[in-house]
A and B are shown apart, each in its own frame.
Chain A
Amino acid sequence: MIFDFAEIQSRSSEAFPNKTCLFRPIIPFRIINKLCPEKHFEMEAVIDSGSDYTILPLRLGVSIGLSINEGKTESISPIGSAKDVAILFYEVILEIKGKQFCSYLSFADEDDIGFPVLGCIGFFDLFEVKMDYLSRKIELLPKVKSINP
């Protein structure tokens, strides 16, 4: 599965006078409720190997029927924050380019989440991820079997 980096506008600076844009590893995906597959949402998030966990907005999780009472809690320390915050883990289906994988990933309240990220648990534990900044290409090589043909 191959993706392009996303092109994001940016401003020039003294250090980079000709800069007009930045390139970030942002990819689209779908999250499906494992128990109720017709409930799902799509979003885009940045691939971030520096994040221990994959973290998505809880409101979207709730919208596909994930119950706050059934999430498994974990405490994390966001970088730059003095306080720990609680996140909730669920088993869901992660669909990328039509291929579906079982994933154990987390959701956080919007006050506790800066940007949604595809991190180590929930994403990097499913794929070998190759990123070539110069060609602006991302390649995902599944390390587990997809659950659909």
Chain B
Amino acid sequence: MNKLTNDISEIILPYENMWIALTLDNKKVVDSDKSINHLVDRLEDKDIRNFRFMKVPRFAPVCMNII
């Protein structure tokens, strides 16, 4: 299979289960924090429109338990 265009797997590797702010081209992680509140607090002065926010999922598989 061809490389996916949405392949951010390498750059998010150090940030499992954390909030990250990416550059808008998804090429670089600018900042990270366990708390989105703290992350936005820090970046608000730099204009949050310059970043793309994401919570990095856990790297273990997830399933919803519906019982």
Contact = CB atoms under 8 A, between A and B. Distances in A.
Interface in A48-80: 50, 57, 59-60, 63-64, 79-80
Contacts, number: 86
Interface string B21-43: 00010100000000111001000
A115 B52 contact: no
Given A42-B52, A115-B55, A22 B61 contact: yes
Contact of A63 (B13, B24, B44): B44
Binding site secondary structure of chain B = loop
B53 to A, nearest CB: 4
Interface in A72-106: 79-80
Given A9-B13, A60-B40, A41 B6 contact: no
A10 B9 CA distance: 10
B5 to A, nearest CB: 5
Binding site secondary structure of chain A = strand
Interface residues of B, number: 30
Interface string A6-48: 1111110000000001111011100000000000111111100
A4 B4 contact: yes
Contacts of A10: 59-61
Q: Which 5 residue pairs of A and B lie closest in terms of their CB atoms, listed nearest first?
A: A4-B4, A43-B53, A4-B6, A42-B52, A44-B54
